[in-house]
């Protein structure tokens, strides 16, 4: 689940709540602002008015990305858990994803490559730790070699991806956590935010085209 695209490649719309910058209001007031924003996002997103919400809460070592899709939970779940489907949208264009192997179960692993326009390959792996069918799954994401051996000097994060039925379809929420905020800062510097938002836009386009 690693994205390393430059920010200038980003497309689509994302609404960002950054709770890591200079504190211009008191903490209680800032907390209220964030809650109000999230409530507004939930209302608008169900109506299809917002593409993605990115909450960067680095002090609590967490990034949350949420997006609404106009498809049922089963369809969206399969797009995330079947290699033949996730390869169609996972990489931000003009890159593409290619799965080498996937064993979608607790203790299983997904090994895949992000392939660039010139054919360059950047390998990653996900070790699945929990699967709650049609509800959520969790895993440890890391940069790796083609055999799934982790690259220790690059960011490693824990992911929880949740699927919630809504009146308009399905809302997917991905929560990333790390052992320290520096890991998330490094991930953001490498272009994770822009790359992931672009990939979610790919997924939305695919679902609409195959509805």
Nearest one of 14, 16, 91, 90 to 52, comparing CA atoms: 14
Length of the chain measured in residues = 211
Neighbours of 191 (CB within 10 A): 19
- This prediction has a pTM of 0.80
Distances (CA, A) of 97 to 4, 130, 209: 13, 23, 19
State residue 28's pLDDT score: 41
Name the residue ranges covered by the structural domains of the chain: 12-209
Nearest one of 57, 75, 71, 61 to 19, comparing CA atoms: 57
CA 179 from chain centre, in angstroms, equals 18
**What would the pLDDT profile of 66-104 be if each residue is shown by its tens digit?**
999 999 999 999 999 999 999 999 999 999 999 999 999
**Beta-sheet pairing, 53-57 with 15-18:** parallel
Distances (CA, A) of 188 to 6, 100, 124, 175, 196: 10, 26, 16, 14, 11
**What would the pLDDT profile of 165-178 be if each residue is shown by its tens digit?**
999 999 999 999 99
State residue 182's pLDDT score: 96
Nearest one of 101, 159, 97 to 131, comparing CA atoms: 159
d(CA 111, CA 145): 9
Measured in degrees and rounded to the nearest 5, phi and psi for residue 47 equal: -90, 0
Q: Is 46's pLDDT higher than 60? A: no
| Domain 12-209 top-level CATH class | alpha beta
More reliable by pLDDT, 41 or 120: 120
**What would the pLDDT profile of 191-205 be if each residue is shown by its tens digit?**
999 999 999 999 999
End-to-end CA gap in the chain: 25
| Confidence grade of residue 3 (pLDDT, cut at 50, 70, 90) | low
């Amino acid at each position: 689940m690693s994205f390393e695209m430059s920010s200038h490649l980003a497309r689509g719309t994302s609404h960002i709540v950054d709770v890591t910058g200079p504190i211009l209001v008191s903490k209680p007031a800032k907390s209220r602002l964030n809650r109000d924003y999230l409530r507004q996002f939930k209302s608008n997103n169900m109506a299809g008015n917002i593409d993605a919400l990115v909450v960067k809460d680095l002090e609590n070592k967490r990034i949350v990305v949420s997006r609404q899709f106009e498809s049922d939970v089963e369809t969206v779940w399969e797009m995330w858990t079947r290699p033949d489907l996730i390869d169609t949208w996972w990489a931000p264009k003009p890159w593409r994803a290619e799965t080498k192997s996937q064993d979608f179960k607790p203790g299983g692993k997904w090994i895949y490559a992000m392939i660039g326009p010139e054919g360059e390959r950047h390998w990653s792996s996900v070790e699945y730790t929990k699967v709650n069918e049609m509800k959520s799954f969790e895993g440890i994401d890391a940069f790796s070699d083609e055999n799934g051996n982790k690259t220790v000097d690059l960011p490693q994060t824990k992911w929880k991806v949740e699927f919630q039925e809504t009146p308009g379809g399905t809302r997917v929420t991905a929560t990333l956590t790390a052992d320290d905020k520096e890991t998330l800062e490094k991930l953001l510097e490498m272009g994770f935010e822009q790359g992931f938002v672009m990939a979610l836009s790919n997924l939305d386009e695919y679902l609409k085209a195959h509805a």
